[in-house]
């Protein structure tokens, strides 16, 4: 998956988008550096659309913005109002939940304003039918699965739109024959799910329903603010599944029990073909071997009818290996050559920031995790324990969103018992001011039920308060693994921790 995104048309030239609706020919993305938006921007640029975007001041000069500019996408703090009238559409990220002047300007100029999900559906329309569209959906755990599927299907004619890219690979790419899309709604930290779309001209832009040839559904769980309870999550999963020709579903006892309910629902009436993936002989794709190997990774063997795939899965943590294996199963369902799949799987580099080793200083290894749902947090902590052969695990957790943290506080606190010490960062919030009770103390209280109170630290901003990296550096010992979990401020904490360990004797 070392493909380089194709630059967009130069500013001032007429775009010639390959198969795109006219409404996406000259498009501006609000919140372009947010998860999910980068991939969409790169894919549209690769298809010849003229793409621009705006980002928060902290992100305009950041790494994601630089990647976009390298692909010919203009990134700035705010689009001038005079330029808004030249757009065919404006797309906004759900992470932008507050009022925004660019959206107001678009409305005043009667420029269509689309939610990302609407723009994504329009983008996929060209690939519907046959084996042109492959998708991944789930309440969580889609990042590894979708990145692996894009990598496995990357034959030079396959494109993708991912919420999180693989290391050193673009989050989006255009391929003429096929498209892989991560349809997970859980792309970024936010507190609400705003209505979609914001503005459409009368009689224009009906939203198509993508029809994937195959859809891998990874997990079904309540995920505030998207799915407040299991029935809501299950209803959405069934809706997504019935848009596909074939649905690929894990059938592993410890993985995700609600997937059983989905399989039962799909069996109740005529619908898509359901292919299960698991260890049982009754599974459509059988995992006959998935064992951890010395030096890291797993050895996997899968059987699909008379077809067999045997390969190393370069993953940290059994749960990530399972998702990569399910991606292989989806590729087999689509008719991919098993030998080619085995070769590509062995080269899969994982997901940027997901169980990614950043470095070792003073014998202390720092690892990043993008986990946001409690199930992902617990499993990444368990995987970190496998890395700490002769030491302990220190968890640095940035809870994701007030709405989600309030619901998951007890479970998050309980999950932290997989580590030896917990350092809790302030909750990442999608809005700058929230008149609600801070749920961080509830997480800390739950953590202290299984960890000694002196091993649970909450980080508060203040001139005399120690930073997270100072707390960790003061307790970390040779052989320890520090797992830094989160996607907002957490990555910067990980980098500062490495620098501090470098300078601390």
| Helices within 216-317 (DSSP H only) | 230-241, 258-268
Average pLDDT (82-92) is 91
Query: Which pLDDT value is given to residue 94?
Result: 65
Q: What is the 3-state secondary structure (H, E, C) of 298-322?
A: EEEEEEECCEEEEEEECCCCHHHHH
Average pLDDT over residues 190-195: 46
> Greater confidence, 186 or 300?
300
- Whole-angstrom distance, CA of residue 497 vs CA of residue 484: 10
pLDDT at 198 over 90: no
Indicate the burial class of 377 (C-beta count within 10 angstroms; 0-12, 13-18, 19 or more): buried
Using CA atoms, how far apart are residues 295 and 483, in angstroms rounded to an integer?
19
Residue 225 preceded by cis peptide, ω within 30:
yes
CA atoms within 13 A on the CB side of 150: 32
Residue, of 227 and 112, whose pLDDT is higher: 112
What percentage of the chain exceeds 90 in pLDDT? 68
pLDDT at res. 128: 77
3-state secondary structure of 445: helix
Position 7 pLDDT exceeds 60: no
Q: What's 131's DSSP letter?
A: T
Q: Is pLDDT at 13 greater than 50 in this prediction?
A: no
Pairing of strands 285-292, 273-278: parallel
For residue 317, the cross-strand partners are: none
The pLDDT value recorded for residue 17 is: 64
pLDDT at 434 > cutoff 70: no
The full set of domains in the chain, from first to last, is: 22-201+208-346 (3.40.1190.10), 356-503 (3.90.190.20)
Question: Tell me, what's the pLDDT at 153?
Answer: 96
Cα–Cα nearest to 249, from 289, 280, 226: 280
Token pair 């979609």 is at which residue? 196
Long-range contacts of residues 233-238, Cβ cutoff 8 Å, at least 24 apart: 233/139, 233/258, 234/258, 234/261, 234/262, 234/265, 237/137, 237/138, 237/139, 237/262, 238/262, 238/265, 238/266
Cβ atoms of 187 and 307 closer than 8 Å: no
């Amino acid at each position: 998956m070392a493909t380089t995104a194709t630059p967009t048309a130069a500013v001032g030239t007429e775009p010639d988008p390959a198969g795109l609706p006219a409404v996406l020919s000259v498009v501006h993305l609000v919140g372009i550096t947010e998860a999910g938006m980068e991939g969409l921007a790169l894919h549209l640029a690769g298809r010849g659309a003229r793409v621009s975007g705006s980002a928060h001041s902290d992100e305009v000069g950041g790494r994601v913005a630089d990647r976009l500019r390298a692909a010919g996408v203009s990134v700035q703090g705010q689009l001038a109002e005079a330029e808004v009238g030249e757009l065919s559409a404006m797309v906004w990220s759900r992470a932008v939940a507050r009022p925004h002047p660019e959206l107001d300007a678009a409305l005043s100029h009667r420029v269509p304003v689309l939610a990302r999900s609407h723009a994504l559906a329009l983008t996929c329309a060209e690939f519907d039918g046959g084996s042109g569209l492959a998708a991944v959906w789930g309440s969580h755990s889609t990042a590894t699965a979708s990145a692996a599927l894009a990598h496995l299907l990357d034959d030079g004619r396959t494109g993708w739109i991912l919420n999180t890219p693989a290391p050193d690979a673009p989050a989006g790419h255009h391929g003429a024959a096929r498209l892989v899309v991560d349809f997970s709604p859980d792309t970024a930290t936010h507190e609400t799910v705003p209505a979609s779309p914001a503005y459409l001209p009368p009689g224009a832009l009906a939203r198509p329903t993508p029809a994937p040839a195959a859809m891998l559904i990874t997990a079904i769980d309540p995920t505030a603010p998207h799915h407040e309870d299991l029935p809501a999550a299950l209803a959405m999963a069934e809706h997504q599944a019935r848009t596909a020709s074939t649905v690929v579903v894990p059938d592993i006892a410890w993985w995700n029990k609600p997937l059983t309910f989905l399989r039962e629902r799909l069996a109740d009436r005529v619908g898509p073909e359901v292919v299960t993936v698991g260890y049982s002989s009754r599974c459509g794709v059988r995992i006959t071997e998935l064992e951890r190997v010395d030096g890291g990774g797993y050895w996997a063997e899968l059987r699909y009818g008379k077809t067999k795939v045997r390969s190393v899965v370069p993953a940290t943590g059994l749960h990530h290996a399972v998702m990569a294996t399910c991606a292989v199963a989806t590729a087999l369902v689509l008719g991919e050559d098993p030998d080619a799949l085995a070769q590509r799987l062995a080269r899969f580099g994982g997901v940027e920031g997901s169980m990614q080793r950043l470095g070792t200083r003073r014998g202390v290894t720092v690892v990043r995790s993008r986990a946001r749902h409690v199930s992902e947090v617990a499993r990444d902590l368990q995987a970190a324990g496998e890395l700490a052969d002769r030491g302990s695990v220190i968890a640095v957790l940035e809870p994701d969103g007030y709405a989600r943290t309030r619901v998951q506080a007890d479970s998050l606190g309980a999950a932290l018992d997989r580590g030896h010490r917990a350092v809790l960062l302030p909750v990442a919030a999608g809005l700058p001011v929230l008149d609600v009770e801070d749920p961080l103390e509830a997480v800390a209280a739950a953590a202290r039920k299984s960890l000694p109170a002196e091993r649970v630290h909450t980080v508060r901003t203040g001139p005399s308060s120690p930073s997270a990296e100072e707390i960790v550096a003061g307790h970390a010992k040779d052989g320890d693994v520090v797992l830094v979990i989160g996607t907002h401020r957490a990555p910067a904490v990980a980098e500062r921790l490495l620098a501090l360990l470098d300078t601390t004797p």
